[in-house]
Every structure is written in C-alpha cells, then in structure tokens.
Structure 1
Amino acid sequence: MLKKTAPFLVIIAGCMWGAIGTFVRILSAMGLDNTTIVECRMFGAMLMLTAGLLIYDKRLLKINPKDIWIFFGAGFLCTACFNTCYNIAINELTLSLAAILLCTAPFFVVILAYVFFREKITPWKIKTLLLAFCGCVLVCGIFDRGATFSAYGILIGLLSGIGYAFLSIFARIAINKGYHSLTINTWCFICASLGLAFFTDWGQLGTLVGAAPLSMGGLLFLHALIGTAAPYILFTVALNYIDTGRAAILSSSEPVSATIMGYIIYHETLSVYALTGMVMVLAALIILSKPEVEEIRRDVGA
C-alpha cells in the first residue's frame, strides 16, 4: 500500500514546503522578525521529531559526541542560516521567485561536491547548470519591460540556495558515517534551535503569544508541523519505497505550490519570461536528479 502511495507522499511534502511562505508573511505582518520566525519553526519541529523518535526508536537519537561538529554545521551554520535567508527573500520577492531561488541548491551541490569530494563535473552537468542559470535569469525578471525587482532579495534568495547546498555536504558526511536521515534531521533542528535562541526576540514573541495564546500558539504549531516536521517525515517514509532521484523530481511540487499560493492569496502574477524561466529551472532540476547523477536533493531538512 505504502509503495503505491509513496510518490503522493513526496508531492504532499513538496506542497507543504511550498506553504512556508504564507506562514512567514502572516507572522512577519504580526511583527516577528525573520530569525524569531525560523526559531519558532525549528524549535517546534525539534520537539515533534524528538518526541516521535522517543516513541518510534530512541536509538536514533544517539550520536557520537565527536561528530557534534557535523550537526552544528548542518544545523546552525546551514539550516538556521539558509532558512533565515529564505524568510527574507519571501518578504522581498514573490513567493514563486523565493522558492525557485531556494531550489537552485542542487546546482550548487554539483560545484561543492567537486570541491570537497572531487566528484567529476561532466559536460552533461555543465549543460544542466547553464540551463538552470538561464532559467534563474529569466525568473528574476531582468528582461521584463518596466519590471522592478529587489537585487537584495535575489542575492539573499541565492544565498538560501547556497546554504541549502552546504547542508547537503554536511548531510553526506553524516550519512557516510552511518547516521539515519531522521537522526540527521532531528539533530539539525536541535542545533539550529539552540543557535537561533541567542538571536530570537523573546519579548515580542511572548507579547504576541500572551495576547492570543490559542490562536498564536496554533499558528506557530501549524507552521512547525506543516512547514517542517510533517513534510520531512513524509519524505523519509517515501524514501523507503522510491529512489532519491525520483523523490527529488516529485518534490519539485514545492515551487509550483508556492507559485499557486502566491497567485491565489497575494495576487502575484508571473510574466511569460518568468514562467519560461521556472520551467527551465524545474527541467534542469529533473535532469540533475536522475539516478546516475547521484545527488542528494531532499534527504535532509529546510
């Protein structure tokens, strides 16, 4: 049964990731800053996954103390930072553009894998990278007549993709040491939430929660559940039945979901150039996610 539904689990996970932008804009409008919003999501997801592993298999929570640097790098330096950059991009750009810039991560992984693991950059990969780059240029609206865009937002959006790519590098190190993907995700969220705690506006958060405990608490809970905990669990379950490459392709529903939500909720529109660019980036992502490329796309968190 799960083998048949596994592809749908990945698609649902992608749609959930695509909903992050809506939560971010709602919470930003309430007065929360980007790091506080990310902290709420990381802390909530950490509690949910930790509780789940305690029930499912508490052995998955164990790590070698000597490997803590891996999870600190993956959690605080990568997960916390790229999510903060993504939140900023969401508020600076359209939801679709922010999502597609985040999805450039696999292309940066190709470059980083060459630097750190000496993986070959084949002519096929180079062509794919060029396709993705041209797509990003079109999506950014540079050729749209009379269009205005935030150069700062685009730069921050690209930084979110680079941060996500570095997360894949740390994750690969952890996987090579034999850690389960759930272990990696949980410890990423633990380290991310601990690191972000020093940059969180606890006073503003306490004021908002105190003024409306049920509604605000419920919103923060749904943000952590829908934006992080649930999609990672669904994705991890699906990986038991389908290969990583196919899962990566199906998870491309994330930018599509973000685009639809941006259109319906915020009346954001896309030009022909932007739509063409999005198709080019998604096509490059699909090509790059083929099994023979052997790239990690969604084994670990955003």
Structure 2
Amino acid sequence: MQAKKGYAMVLVAALMWGSIGIFVKSLSALGLTSASIAALRLLMGAALLAPVLVVMSMRGVRTPAGEKHSAFSLFRATPGTLFACALVGILGLAFANLGYYISMGEVGMSTASVLLYTSPIFGVVFGRVLYGERVTGGKLLSVALNITGCLLAVTSGNFAGMQFSLLGVGAGVFAGLMGALLAVFSKIATEKMHPLAVTFYGFMFGGATMLAIARPWAEIAGAFGPEFILLLFGFGLIPTALAYIFYMSGLSLGLEASKVPVVASFETVATVLVGILMYGESSDLVKVAGICLVLLSIVAMNMDFARVRSSAAVRLWHESMAFNGRIWQQEKIADYNDFVNSGDWQTWVAPR
C-alpha cells in the first residue's frame, strides 16, 4: 500500500512538471536563456523550501524523543548524506538540464525530448545492478511501451523533422542517464534525511552549478519587474518546490528505482496536453495513441503479472480459448441420444 501511495506521488509530481513549458515560454519572452531559467528555477525552489523546513524543525519533525530541537534540525546532514544530496543536485538536476538544453540546440526539441526518455532503460539497469531488482518481462514490456509512446506523443509519427548530430544525440542520452541517476541518488539520500531537506540541498547544489554556468546577471537586470517576479515565484513553487516535495516523498516510501522513471514519464503526457489545451498545438490519432501507450506503460510497470495470471478472469479466458465447438456439439448429440434411447426421462433428468 505504501508503494502504491509513493508511485501516486511521483505521478502527481510528473503532472506538475508538465507545466514547465508555460513558465519557460514566458521567461524566454523576457530575454532569459534556458540555462539561466534552470538556475533561477532551482534557487527559487530552495528559497521557498527553506522556511518550510525551519517551521518543521521547530515543531520537532524527525527529532528523536528527548533530544532538543532547533530551527535548523532538519538541515543537519552527515558528510555522506550531503554528498548524496550534491549528486542529486549536480548530476540529477543541473547536468540533466544542461544535457537536455545542448541536445535541443543540436537536434531540436522533439528529438531531444525523445532522447531524454531513454531514462527508463537506465532505470531498469541501475535497479538491477545497485538494488538487485528483478528484470521481469513486465518491466521490459513497460519500457518498450513507454519509449514508443513518448516517441509518438512528441513527434505525432512524423519522423522527417527529427535531426541527427553526434553531440546532440549524446547529450540527449546523457540527460536521460542523469534523469535515471536522480532517482538512484534521491533514494539513497532520503534513507538518511527528510525528503524535503534532500530536495532543498539538491536545489542549492544544482542551482549554484547552473548559476556558475549561465552567469545570468545581465539577463536578470533586463527582465526584472513585477511580471518577472510573479513568473519566477510560480515557477519555483508549482513545477519545482511542490513537484519535488511529492517526488522525494514518494521515493522515501521504498519505491523500485527501475519503476520510477517510467511513472515520471507522465510528464511527457502532461506537456503534450498543455501544448494542445493552452497553445493550440495540433492533436491527432497518432499523438493520442502515444499518450495511451505511455499511460499503459505506467499501468504495466505497476501490475503484478503473477497475480493476474492466477486470477479467476484469466482462468476463464483460458477455458474459453480451449473451447472446441465441434466437440461440444458431439457431446450434446450423444447426450440427446442417451435421452432418446433411455426411454425413462426421469432416470435421465435426475443426475442433471
């Protein structure tokens, strides 16, 4: 039950991530580059989480009984845990974003989006190597459905516009790898620290890294104003602070690292729907089929196929598939002949 709750929380996070495009388009229109937007997003998320952690610390959340708590109790971290948080922020957030932006610049948004969602493949590999998670037929089917669904949802089946560049493809796959590592490092960090504290430190490390790369001082000065502040606040709150609160809290409930990237890929569906509903982007049967495949992959990844195979519905299905109309007809004819030849209908009816 805990695991189902955790996957539901990851799904909610993915739904919130689907709104990223709304903020990115608006901030880009104000003159900010993608790298600058990523840096500001993470740092604003950290700024919004800090007072929440202070209040929780003052209330004694996760403070052992009898131990005095302070306003900074939840911020305490061992060097090992802090290192895991740094990996979350630098690799799972900053480098994943950087790889994605490079890929978009080299091969275009559609191709980069598809490459980004190679992360379920890496998720299955890491889950097996690091945690000994079983690689089942259901997982492999789910990954195949997921990648196909993302491909169709993003491209609408039109592959003519997809581009190839060794750097662009490599950067896109690298972003997918970093996305899978985000789940791995977050799982490690949340075993020792509160999920919100892991999120805060991840935002700080990731934001500082992106800030050093982007150096957005001139861009911020040019865009600064009420609209910029409002957009930055919303960006830091909805698809950043709140989304990662759900994501990290879900991971802390003992989820399988191999399953998380598939569930998180619902972000693709949410992004496509936002584009259709808010920006009038085209929708067709191929795109709808892609969305359905992504949803089916999430269901398949969380389905217990052993229980399904032993269910009454599957047994009935097997029986129905084994039904032979000719044999049934012959049995009924023989039964009728027994009735005719018996001459005693009461004797024939009794066992029936």
- Answer yes or no: is the 8 Å Cα contact 2:27–2:37 preserved in 1: yes
**Once the 2 structures are TM-superposed, how far is the Cα of residue 100 of structure 1 from its aligned partner?**
7.0
- Taking a change above 3 Å as real, the CA distance of residues 159 and 275 of structure 1, as seen in their structure-2 partners, is farther
> d(CA) in 2 for partners of 1:167 and 1:184?
12
- Taking a change above 3 Å as real, the CA distance of residues 277 and 12 of structure 1, as seen in their structure-2 partners, is closer
Q: 1:112 aligns with which of 126, 146, 155?
A: 126
- Taking a change above 3 Å as real, the CA distance of residues 12 and 121 of structure 1, as seen in their structure-2 partners, is closer
- Answer yes or no: is the 8 Å Cα contact 1:99–1:258 preserved in 2: no
Question: How many residues are paired up?
Answer: 281
- Taking a change above 3 Å as real, the CA distance of residues 113 and 285 of structure 1, as seen in their structure-2 partners, is same
What code does the residue aligned with 2:236 have? A
Q: Which segments of 5 or more consecutive residues in structure 2 lack a partner in the other structure?
A: 1-5, 58-71, 306-352
> d(CA) in 1 for partners of 2:10 and 2:154?
27
- Answer yes or no: is the 8 Å Cα contact 1:108–1:165 preserved in 2: yes
Matched, 1:93 2:109: yes
**Once the 2 structures are TM-superposed, how far is the Cα of residue 160 of structure 1 from its aligned partner?**
3.4
What code does the residue aligned with 2:301 have? L
Tell me the residue number matched to 1:167.
Answer: 182
> d(CA) in 2 for partners of 1:154 and 1:271?
27
Please list, as runs of the form range in 1=range in 2, the aligned pairs for 1:1-302 lying within 5 A after superposition.
Answer: 13-57=13-57, 58-86=72-100, 92-93=108-109, 105-139=119-153, 141=155, 143-144=157-158, 147-151=160-164, 158-176=173-191, 178-209=192-223, 212-233=224-245, 254-290=267-303
Moved more, 111-120 or 135-144: 135-144
Tell me the residue number matched to 1:3.
Answer: none
What code does the residue aligned with 1:198 have? A
What code does the residue aligned with 1:51 have? P
**Once the 2 structures are TM-superposed, how far is the Cα of residue 27 of structure 1 from its aligned partner?**
1.8
> d(CA) in 2 for partners of 1:19 and 1:33?
18
> d(CA) in 2 for partners of 1:29 and 1:255?
23
> d(CA) in 2 for partners of 1:117 and 1:166?
13
Does the residue aligned with 2:161 lie in a helix, a strand or coil? coil
1:228-260: CA deviation from partner (whole Å, max 9, x where unpaired): 1123335667889x9969999987764333222
**Once the 2 structures are TM-superposed, how far is the Cα of residue 15 of structure 1 from its aligned partner?**
3.5
Pair member with larger Rg = 2
- Taking a change above 3 Å as real, the CA distance of residues 12 and 81 of structure 1, as seen in their structure-2 partners, is same
What code does the residue aligned with 2:233 have? F
> d(CA) in 2 for partners of 1:155 and 1:165?
15
> d(CA) in 1 for partners of 2:255 and 2:188?
17
TM-score w.r.t. the length of structure 1 is 0.75
- Taking a change above 3 Å as real, the CA distance of residues 29 and 65 of structure 1, as seen in their structure-2 partners, is same
**Once the 2 structures are TM-superposed, how far is the Cα of residue 139 of structure 1 from its aligned partner?**
3.8
Tell me the residue number matched to 1:297.
Answer: none
Moved more, 68-77 or 260-269: 260-269
- Answer yes or no: is the 8 Å Cα contact 1:44–1:221 preserved in 2: yes
Moved more, 124-133 or 34-43: 124-133
Q: Which segments of 5 or more consecutive residues in structure 1 lack a partner in the other structure?
A: 1-5, 293-302
> d(CA) in 2 for partners of 1:139 and 1:155?
22
What code does the residue aligned with 2:175 have? S
> d(CA) in 1 for partners of 2:17 and 2:203?
16
- Answer yes or no: is the 8 Å Cα contact 1:24–1:87 preserved in 2: no
- Taking a change above 3 Å as real, the CA distance of residues 67 and 228 of structure 1, as seen in their structure-2 partners, is same
What code does the residue aligned with 1:214 have? P
What code does the residue aligned with 2:300 have? I
Percent of aligned pairs with the same residue? 26
> d(CA) in 2 for partners of 1:11 and 1:71?
22
**Once the 2 structures are TM-superposed, how far is the Cα of residue 29 of structure 1 from its aligned partner?**
2.9
1:200-252: CA deviation from partner (whole Å, max 9, x where unpaired): 2333333224xx42221221111111221123335667889x99699999877
Does the residue aligned with 1:48 lie in a helix, a strand or coil? helix
- Taking a change above 3 Å as real, the CA distance of residues 105 and 181 of structure 1, as seen in their structure-2 partners, is farther
- Answer yes or no: is the 8 Å Cα contact 1:99–1:254 preserved in 2: no
- Taking a change above 3 Å as real, the CA distance of residues 230 and 126 of structure 1, as seen in their structure-2 partners, is closer
